[in-house]
Structure 1
Amino acid sequence: MGKRFRLFALLLAVAILAGCAAKDPSVYAVVNGVEITREDVNRYASLVWFEPDVELTAEDKAYILDALIRMQVYSQAALARGLEFDSEKAEEEYDFFRDQVTAEKFAGNVTAFYARMEELDLTKEWLLDFFRRSIIIDDMLAEELEKVQEPDDADVEDYYNQNKEKYAHDELRRIRHILVNKGNFPDAEEDEVADLTKNLANEIYQRLLDGEDFAELAKEYSQDVSGKAGGDIGWWEKEDLVEEFAEVAFSLEPGVISEPVESTYGWHVLEVLEVKEAGYYELDEALREEIHAELQYKRRQTRLNDLLSLLMEQADIVKYYKSP
C-alpha cells in the first residue's frame, strides 16, 4: 500500500472545524490500559491540517477520539498476533510526510516545517508512533485478506444466475461515427467554425455515399478518440447516448449512412453496424472478471469488517470525554 494512501486511509475525514473548545478532561479515553489524551486529539487534528489556531468543536473531538480508539485497538491486536512495529518504515513515512508538507505548505522550506511542528506541539516521536501503528494495522489487515477464499467459476456463475436482472439490457446497437468539430479547424475564426464544420460533415457524408471507406475517413477526420479505430464506438443502449445522436442511431437500418447530425460535440456522420434485441448480457470473459472482482471485494470487506467489529467488542474501552 502506498504511503500517501496509507496516511489518508487512516486519517479519517473530519468536518471543517469551527467553534470554541469547551473544558474537558486531560485523558479522553483508556484502551486496554493505554491512555488517549487531549494532547493526542489535538495532535491528530494538527496532523490533518498542519495549521495553527484550529479550534475543535465537541463533535470534532468525539470523531477524532473514535478514530484514535480504533487505531489503538487494531494496533494492539496486531501486536498480540505477533506482528512487530517497523521503525524503519515509520521513519520513511515521516520523511515522506515532512517532504510532502514542506513542498505543499512552505515552498520547500524545511526550516518553516520544523517551526510549524514546534508551534503545533507536534513531535517527531508522536508522529513516528502514529506511523508505526498505521503500518502494523496495514500488515495485520493484509494477513487477514490472505485468508479470504477466492471466488471460483461456480461462484461467478451462481451470482450471475441469481442476479440476472442486474445484467438485463434494452436494445443494443453497435455504432461507428465520424465527429467533425472545431478541432478540424484549429486556426479558424470563431464565427467561421459553424459553417466550416457543417460543410466538412456534408462533404464526408457525400464521399461515403460515393463509396469511400468509412474507417479510413474516420481515421483522417474524426475528432473523437474512436477515430483511430475507424470510428467504432462499440455497443450502446439508447439512453446512454447524447439525445440527437441517439435519435438517429436508433432509427437507422444497419449499413445505412446517416446524414450529418449535430450535437453538443459537433457534427456526426454515423452508421449502425449491428443490432441486438433486448435481453441479457452474456457471461463472457469481461463480465466474468467484473463479477469475480465484485465478489472478491465483498468477501474481503466482510472479512475485515467482521474482524474489526470483533476486536472492538473484545477491547476494554473507557471513555472519559463525552460530547454534548
Structure 2
Amino acid sequence: MIKKYIFLLSSCIVALCCFQTATAQSKLVDRVAATVGSGIILQSDIEMQYAQYLAGGEKPNENMKCYVLQQLVTQKLLSQQAMIDSIEVSEAEVDDNLNRRMQMMVRQAGGKERLEEFLNRSLLQYKEEMRPSVSEQLKAQKMQQNIVTTINVTPQEVKTYFNGLNQDSLPYFNTEVEVGEIVINPVLTKEEKEQYRQKVEGYRQQILNGSDFGTIARLYSEDAAAPYGGESGFQTRDYWAKEFSAMAFKLKEGEVSPVFETQFGFHILQVLQRRGEEVNVRYIVVIPKPTNASLERAKAKIDSISDKVEQGKMSFHTAASLYSENNETKYTGGMILNEEDRTGLIPMDRLDRETFTAIDPLQVGQYSKSFLSKDRTGKQVYKFMYLKSRIAPHKANLEQDFAKIQEAAKQDKINRKLSEWFELRKENTFIDINPDFIKCDELKLWINKDETLAQK
C-alpha cells in the first residue's frame, strides 16, 4: 500500500532541502534514476539531498537514497498534476523560501564565506541553481494541500476510529495542563530611544560619506540578514512592517533612506532593485534595549492587572484580551496552545523552564506572581501565569483526549485520501525506476510486478 509511505511534503521540503558539495559532484557520473510521466529524476538530484542528510551530522546510510528517490517520485507526481490544475507559485514565494534556506545554511556553516567555500560557488549562483527545484517542491506542496484541504472528521468518525484501535496498546499521557499568560512589554520613552536613533544616524552618515552599506550592515546590524550585508532578497509589500514597506517602495534605486522606526527598532535601508511589485533592499536595524526605568514601569503595569484579576474585578480572559501584548495569546484569552495539535492541553514536560516553575506550585484556578521573562525573539517582558486545569497521567480515552484522537483520526483520513490519489496516479502515469533501485523496499510500490519479474 502506498499509504505506508505518504507524508506531508512540507516536512520533506524542510528536511531534504538541496545541498550539494563540490566533492560529491566531482565523483558523480550523472544518469536517469527514474522517469515519472514527462519528467526525469537524476542521480545528481538524489546525491544533492543525500549530501544534506550527511551535512546534518548523520552517519552514512545508503538506504537513505532509496527514501530520497521515493519522495522525489511522489513530488514529481504532485507537481505534474499541479501544472495540469494550473497551480502556480509566485517568484516572491520562491524567493522567500530560498532566502530562509540560505539563512539557515549560513548559520549551519558558520558564516557566508565558509558556506560559499563549501559550495564552491557564490550564494547568488547557488540560489539560482536551486530555484527550479524549490519551485517544483512548492507546487507539489500546494497540490497536496488542495487534495486534502476539505477533509474533516465527524464526532462519529472519531469514535469509530478510536474503537478500531488496539485497546491494549493505546498511548499513555503524562500530566497535562491548560495555562494562560498575560504579557507586558517594557516601553521606552522618546528620550530613552533617542540614543538608538542617533546610533543609526551615525551609520547613515558613514555610508553617505563613502562607507560600504553592506560592510556597515555586517558589522552593526542586529538582524538575521546581517551576514548577507543586510540584503533582503526580492519581497512584496506585505513581507515587512508597514513603515518599512512604505519606505522601501518610495525610494529610488540606490537611494539611502533617512532613519525610521518600526516595532522592531530603528532602520535605514537602500533600494537595490525593483521588479514589478517586488523590491530588493539592504538594511540596517538597531534594536533598543529596555532601561531599568522602562522595566519598572512594565512591572507596575502588570502588577496592577494582576491585582484586578486576583480581586475578581476582571476575568483573566478579559484582562488578557484588553491588556496582554503577546499577539500569539492575546486573541485566545491569554491561553497558550499546544503547537503540535493546536489544543489547549500541554504536557508538563514540554513547558519551558520558566513556565513550569511558575505554574508547578499552583492549584487549579490560581495565578502566579509576575516575573521577568523573555519572549521568542529574546526581548525582556513581564508576565504572570494562570493555571486553568491539570489532568493527571492516564491512558488515552475519548472523554479526556477527544481533541488528540480527533486530530489522529483526521490525519488517518488524510493519509487514506493521499494513498488513493497516488494509487490512481500510479495506474495512469508512466513510472520507470532504474534497475539499480529495484532492491529498495521503499520503491517496490512504484515498480510494475511484471517489470520486476523480467529484471530477475
TM-score (normalised: structure 2): 0.38
The one-letter amino acid paired with 2:88 is E
Structure 2 CA distance for aligned equivalents of residues 8 and 320 of structure 1? 26
Give distance in 1, aligned partners of 2:69 and 2:54.
16
Q: How does 1:172-321 map to 2 (within 5 A)?
A: 225-229=359-363, 235=392, 284=399, 286-320=400-434
Q: Of the candidates 91, 94, 107, which is equivalent to residue 103 of structure 1?
A: 107
Deviations 1:108-163 (A, max 9, x none): x3133223223699943331122112211111111111232x22233345556677
Which residue number in structure 2 is paired with residue 154 of structure 1?
A: 156
Contact 1:226 1:233 in 2 (8 A): no
Q: For the Cα contact (< 8 Å) 2:50–2:64, is it kept in 1?
A: no
Give the Å deviation of 1:72: 1.7
Cα offset, 1:226, TM superposition: 4.1
Q: Are positions 1:114 and 2:124 aligned together?
A: no
Question: Which whole-Å CA distance do the structure 2 matches of 1:160 and 1:44 have between them?
Answer: 38
Q: What is the aligned-residue identity percentage?
A: 13
Tell me how far apart the structure 2 counterparts of residues 24 and 8 of structure 1 sit (CA, whole Å).
27
Distance 1:35 1:155 in 2: 40
**Is residue 143 of structure 1 aligned with residue 257 of structure 2?**
no
Residues 36, 432 of structure 2: 8 Å contact kept: yes
Match of 1:80 among 84, 94, 98: 84
What letter matches 1:81 in structure 2?
Answer: D
User: Which of 37, 41, 46 in structure 1 is aligned with 2:42?
Assistant: 37
Paired residues of 2:54 and 2:60 also in contact (CA < 8 A) = no
Residues 236/135 of structure 1: CA separation in 2 closer, same or farther (3 Å cut): closer
* Cα distance between partner residues in 2 of 1:55 and 1:154: 45
**Closer/same/farther in 2, CA of residues 22 and 290 from structure 1, 3 Å limit:** same
Aligned residues: 213
Deviation at 1:98, TM superposition (A): 1.0
**Partner amino acid for 2:97?**
E
Amino acid at match of 1:314: N
Could you list the per-position Cα deviations for residues 162-213 of structure 1 after superposition, in whole angstroms to 9, with x for gaps in the alignment?
7795799xxxxxxxxxxxxxxxxxxxxxxxxxxxxxxxxxxxxxxxxxxxxx
Q: What secondary structure does 2:153 align onto?
A: coil
Q: Displacement, 1:101?
A: 1.1
Distance verdict in 2 for CA 1:71–1:56, change over 3 Å: farther
CA contact (8 A) 1:70 1:312 kept: no
Tell me the residue number matched to 1:66.
70
Conserved? CA contact 1:85–1:135, under 8 Å: yes
AA aligned to 2:31 is S
Where structure 1 has 5 or more consecutive residues not aligned to the other structure, the ranges are 13-20, 169-222, 241-279
Query: Paired residue for 2:95, among 91, 95, 107?
Result: 91
Go from structure 1 to structure 2 and tell me whether the alpha carbon gap of 1:119 and 1:305 turns closer, same or farther (over 3 Å shift). Answer: same
Counterpart amino acid of 1:8? V
Cα distance in structure 1, aligned partners of 2:42 and 2:169: 52
User: Post-superposition shift, 1:287?
Assistant: 3.8
CA gap of 1:289–1:92, structure 2 versus 1, over 3 A, is same
Q: CA deviation at 1:32?
A: 1.9
The alignment's C-alpha RMSD in Å is 4.5
Contact 1:74 1:311 in 2 (8 A): no
The runs of 5 or more residues in structure 2 that have no matched partner are: 1-8, 19-25, 171-356, 367-388, 440-456
Question: In the alignment, is residue 130 of structure 1 matched against residue 133 of structure 2?
Answer: yes
Contact 1:75/1:136 (<8 A) preserved: yes
Deviations 1:247-281 (A, max 9, x none): xxxxxxxxxxxxxxxxxxxxxxxxxxxxxxxxx96
Is the contact between residue 32 and residue 317 of structure 1 (CA under 8 Å) also seen in structure 2?
yes
AA at the equivalent of 1:136 = K
Supply the distance in 1 between the matched residues of 2:158 and 2:97 (Cα, whole angstroms): 39
Alignment map for 1:37-56 (pairs within 5 Å): 37-50=42-55
Distance 1:41 1:123 in 2: 17
Q: Secondary structure at the match of 1:322?
A: helix
CA contact (8 A) 1:27 1:37 kept: yes
2:33 pairs with 1:28: yes
Post-superposition CA distance 1:16-51 (Å, at most 9, x none): xxxxx9997622222223232232222223344459
Q: Does the residue aligned with 2:361 lie in a helix, a strand or coil?
A: helix
| Paired letter, 1:39 | S
In 1, Cα distance between equivalents of 2:122 and 2:52? 9
Q: Using the alignment, how far apart are the partners of 2:95 and 2:75 within structure 1?
A: 19
1:59 to partner: Cα distance:
4.1
Distance 1:317 1:126, change over 3 A: farther
Letter matched to residue 37 of structure 2: N
